[in-house]
Chain A
Amino acid sequence: MAAVDIPAIGGHEADAHGDGNAPYLTAKRGIMSWVYTVDHKRIGLMYLMMVSIAFLAGGTFALLVRLELFSRGKTIVDAETYNRFFTLHGAIMVFLFIIPSVPAALGNFFLPIMIGAKDVAFPRLNMLSFYLYCIGVVILLASIIGGSVDTGWTFYTPYSVQTANSVISMTFGVFVLGFSSILTGLNFLVTVHTLRAPGVSWTRLPLFVWGMYATALMQVLATPVLAITLLLLGAERFFGIGIFDPKLGGDPVLFQHFFWFYSHPAVYIMIVPGMAINSELIATFSRRSIFGYFAVAMSSIGLAILGFLVWGHHMFVAGMSEFSTMLFSALTMLVAIPSGVKMFNWTATLYKGSIVWASPMLYAMSFIFLFSIGGLTGLFLGTLSVDVHLTDTYFVVAHFHYVMMGGTVMAFLGGLLYWWPKMTGKMHDELKAKIGFVFVFIGFNLTFMSQFIMGSRGMPRRYYDYLPQFEPFHRASTIGSWILAVGLFTTGYTLLEALWKGKRAPRNPWGSAGYEWMTETPVPLANFRQTPVITRGPYDYHLATPEELATGWDEISEKPAAKKTSQATKKD
């Protein structure tokens, strides 16, 4: 690859509207400058705000669900309301929070910076994705709340068709959200292919970018299936063509195939970005390149591909043929390989590093801890005969919370703490962040470890009430959810407090060799004062100069990188 010129394609705003060197937060002022912004950083921040609100809402419903289950019988609400609560919890967390969380918020903000670009390839499209997301949020929430949907986030037919008239509008909402994520994905793919700064070869691509790239591939390929499902549901609804409804001669299991054909890759859309953040955190706080960089990068792609082949493992007892069951079990087992590769490589990275016990690193290590549990319990569920006993019980609930929350959410929190100084220009209070972490970690394990045990003892999921022998476990789980909530509020407070009380953040507070730390804090509108020419990998601590690790490419504009170009890339 010849050194890529950074063309105007990525930087309309910076070029057209004046000073690309002004900090992005203050380059323009006024609410309208946010509404009309095409700056990837501002869009990222707006996404961050939206997903945080979604997380707060989804979390509130989670706490309500747990509170209701504290005692047998009615604790706070009746069953109708309970069923809506867990539906809202699931739908909000999956579609509004976790899918857009890392790619749309942190990805938008950092992907262009981490490849030395001025913006994403299509800034206006990026803005469109954000507004589509907002529209999707409105449609989804309106149809869930308006239609009192109580189907669970999986909307299985025929129950969903019988009770919820809004199943079509709901799927439509999910589809609009999906469309928004297709556009983001597309944008990222093109950005990574065309806008890398000179010297950012594929082998120097930060692992966060590799993860976003894999995620983008999945977003672009999987979401169209959702549109097909929607069309089929519509055909059934409006023309009476029997597809999913047995009364019309349709097959309800077919809906599950369609649903999971989208939603299983969606699971990887959720976890791969978390892994991507984790690679950054581990490298920075070990002061060392990730062990097996290539394997870690490729395992993201591997997961993206496998993600498309294993949807059937949600349906081992749903009435599939023995042959498909066998096939899906075998393919599911393969998922363990790329996941394991990542775990081993991260751990090996610590060996002979210089480990900084900063708050983001605590989250990164807890990711390894919790994701190990989440991943290993996946082995129970991929093993057919054992899955028959465990599927649709709390064991599954605990398993995917260990993966989604123990994985992605931990990485997201770690990533937020890590990049907060770069995004806001303010340092948070490390002590408070660590206290928050301790509560999160303990609360999380108490909440979900109890669920593993009651699940394997036979407690099915989505139950309003339960048999007496499960009460102690439900109580422990509910108490855990309170501790977890305290931890999350502490962390949220720590971040917000930094905005008005925090010290001004230096350029490179964590001493990272990553490209995004080489520019000013807060980031200039055009990301870098001039197009950087990259001569070392993002984890090459042994090549980074002490100044770089302290203050980044501070003087880059004054001393145009004489010593940096000297080692210019041979690989390209």
Chain B
Amino acid sequence: MNESNAPATYQLPEQMSTVSGDIDWLYYFIYWTSVVLFVAIVGAMIYWAIKYRERPGHKPTPTGHNMPLEIAWTVAPIFILVFLFHKGFQGYMDLAVAPANSIEIRVNAKQWSWEFVYPNGGSSPELHVPEGKPVKLVLTSADVLHSFFVPALRVKRDVVPGMFTTVWFQTTHVGHDDIACAEYCGGRSTGANGELPYEPSDDPRNPYPAGQATGHWAMHGMMFSETEEDYAKFLKSIGDKCDQFATTGKPCPADIAAEQGQKIYSNKGCLACHTTTGVPGVGPSWKGIWGKEEATNVGKVKIDENYIRESILDPQAKIVTGFGPVMPTFRGQISDQELNEVIAYIESLK
């Protein structure tokens, strides 16, 4: 489907991801359950209110007790609720756990724009993904809370400063949809001196022309699900850093961020204590640690973006078993960008 925003049904937008079908099924299940309950309650209310209306000669019957009935309508909903909880949680876990082979795209949100950084190092305000491939987004914010929302994908995740959150999805066909910010993040429609009267545009891809609209509502972006070739073309168009390697004659690294991360590893002196060979030094080796469970003084932890971030900014928070609390904090000496690169590097040391 090429026309975006054509609703799939009256209530829900187009389905573009592998999870949409399940979620919509559940939505409509709740919808019809609700319709039945609503009609039953309100129907009974109106019917009785008319049938037993006050009129001469009509007397109310004193209220009796009906224990079985009362127990029944206290207990019966539990079955529906358990079912909803179960299906909802299942769907939520599908949304939470990204497949291992996902393409990783980093998302930087700030007031009031999105930036998508691709594995080849290029960045763009648009999100392009290859059709039918799992994609994992790692989101972070430079300022306040935002929330990444693509209606057709049925995904939404808050973007929190000082923390990584992730979202993953797999599109089912070629098409596009709007990206919206769903967590209020302020904004204004006039410039600092009151200039720039704000005019929305009728161009669906650019409804809030750049430079004018600066606010929560205007964190609009486009998500394109496209064929492999189109995706490859897009990657080239945003300045594939591989070109630089082509001139030096070296092979293009799979992941530019990891390449940068390796530089930080040596420049910032991590290599004094950490090896990448599997042999522990003063600190644990980084080889193969990504995604592992590890024992620390506060129990088992999983090594992921947030854990590594914390290890670097606040090393004493969790001490890996078998090592001393000697790692210095790098808070204030390492940028969010560099953190991303170190993480990419550690991730690449499979």
Contacts and interface: CB of A to CB of B under 8 A. Distances in A.
Contacts of B62: 288-289, 540-542
Interface in A337-392: 337, 340-341, 343-357, 365, 368-369, 372-373, 376-377, 379-380, 382-389, 391-392
A389 B52 contact: no
Residue of A325, A350, A380, A458 contacting most chain B CB atoms (<10 Å): A458
A329 B85 contact: yes
Interface in B150-178: 151-152, 154-158, 160-163, 165, 178
Contacts of B199: 73
Contact of B52 (A74, A355, A464): A355
B208 A290 contact: no
A247 B26 CA distance: 40
Interface string B217-261: 110100000000000000000000000000000000000000000
B61 interface: yes
Nearest to A154: B184
Interface of A: 72-74, 78-80, 83, 150-152, 156, 158-159, 162-163, 246-247, 249-253, 286-292, 295, 316-319, 322, 325-326, 329-330, 333-334, 336-337, 340-341, 343-357, 365, 368-369, 372-373, 376-377, 379-380, 382-389, 391-393, 453, 456-458, 460-469, 539-542
Nearest to A340: B77
Given A79-B187, A380-B27, A385-B90, A460 B149 contact: yes
A66 B192 CA distance: 26
Contacts of A384: 85, 88-89, 91-92
B5 A469 contact: yes
Contact of B204 (A382, A453, A467): A467
A317 B158 contact: yes
Given A376-B34, A385-B91, A288 B160 contact: no
Given A319-B165, A392-B156, A541-B60, A380 B52 contact: no
Contact of A354 (B52, B154, B331): B52
Nearest to A357: B53
Contacts of B181: 460
Interface of B: 5, 7, 10-13, 19, 22-23, 26-27, 30-31, 33-34, 37-38, 41-42, 44-46, 48-50, 52-54, 58-63, 65-66, 69-70, 73-74, 77-78, 81-82, 84-85, 87-96, 143-145, 147, 149, 151-152, 154-158, 160-163, 165, 178, 180-190, 197-200, 202, 204, 207-208, 213, 215-218, 220, 313-314, 331
Contact of A349 (B63, B65, B204): B63
B284 to A, nearest CB: 23
A379 B30 contact: yes
A336 B163 contact: no
Nearest to B181: A460
Nearest to A286: B60
A188 to B, nearest CB: 27
7 contacts: A159-B145, A319-B165, A354-B58, A379-B34, A383-B30, A383-B85, A389-B151
Contacts of B152: 458
Contacts of A386: 23, 26-27, 30, 88, 91
Contacts of A163: 186
Given A251-B163, A252-B162, A329 B89 contact: yes
A504 B12 CA distance: 54
Nearest to B91: A385
B60 A372 contact: no
A279 B151 CA distance: 40
B187 A464 contact: yes
Nearest to B65: A292
Residue of A253, A330, A333 contacting most chain B CB atoms (<10 Å): A333
Contacts of B215: 79, 83, 464
B205 to A, nearest CB: 11
